[in-house]
Copies of this chain bind each other. A is one copy, B any other.
Amino acid sequence: MPSGDVPDIVVGRLPIYLRALAHMTAAGQEITSSHELGQKLGISSAQIRKDLSHFGEFGKQGTGYRISHLQEQIKRILKVDREWEVALIGVGDLGHAVARYNGFKNRGFSIGLLFDNDPAKIGTRIGDLEVLDVARLKDLLMEQKIKVVMIATPASEAQKVADTCVEAGVTAILNYAPISLTVPDGVHVQHLDPVAYLQRMTYYL
């Protein structure tokens, strides 16, 4: 699979396809087409076929896609045919909600470690997990070979936390803090700043 050749914007659409396929499966559907998928997602069917063609042949002309097969293949491509143990740093209001979110399981992720720097929170539990002292972050990430983290600290703490995670070998960071993180080459960051997404829309209003 020539991963280096696939544009990142194509990679970014695969999770959207996978999510739509999962909803179809949940509704009992077994077959779909690029046309139907495109209608649901507001993407042209030609674009969907072109995106998928980067990775091989997943359907036959005229018969559509077998949903379970396409799901399996996209999961394999995105490497979520396994479960990634994720650490979450920062369990304020938002982090607490993220920790309790039950949408990670079955989609390739499981929160295995929670950290905070607030003595009032350290040692408390959220669901099955104990909130750990962020002073132990680096050691525990290394010990458990964590590659994926989510940062939900205040903006003022996020870069420092990210640096520690990178030192510990983390290569994927989902950042909820409203600040752009600087990371070395080879480390991936996605930012989930709701205001940035709102502003992107008000431009058009």
Contact A78 B199 (CB under 8 A): yes
Tell me, yes or no, whether A112 is within 8 Å of chain B by CB.
Answer: no
Contacts of A84 in B (CB 8 A): 198, 202
12 other contacts beyond A16-B180, A84-B198, A108-B198, with CB at 8 A cut-off? A8-B200, A14-B203, A15-B193, A15-B200, A39-B182, A40-B182, A77-B203, A79-B203, A148-B201, A190-B198, A192-B192, A192-B194
State the copy count for this chain.
2
User: Which A residues are closer than 8 A to B by beta carbons?
Assistant: 3, 8, 11-12, 14-16, 18-20, 23, 39-42, 77-80, 84, 86, 93-94, 96-98, 100-101, 103-104, 107-109, 147-148, 150, 155, 171-172, 174, 178-180, 182-183, 188, 190-205
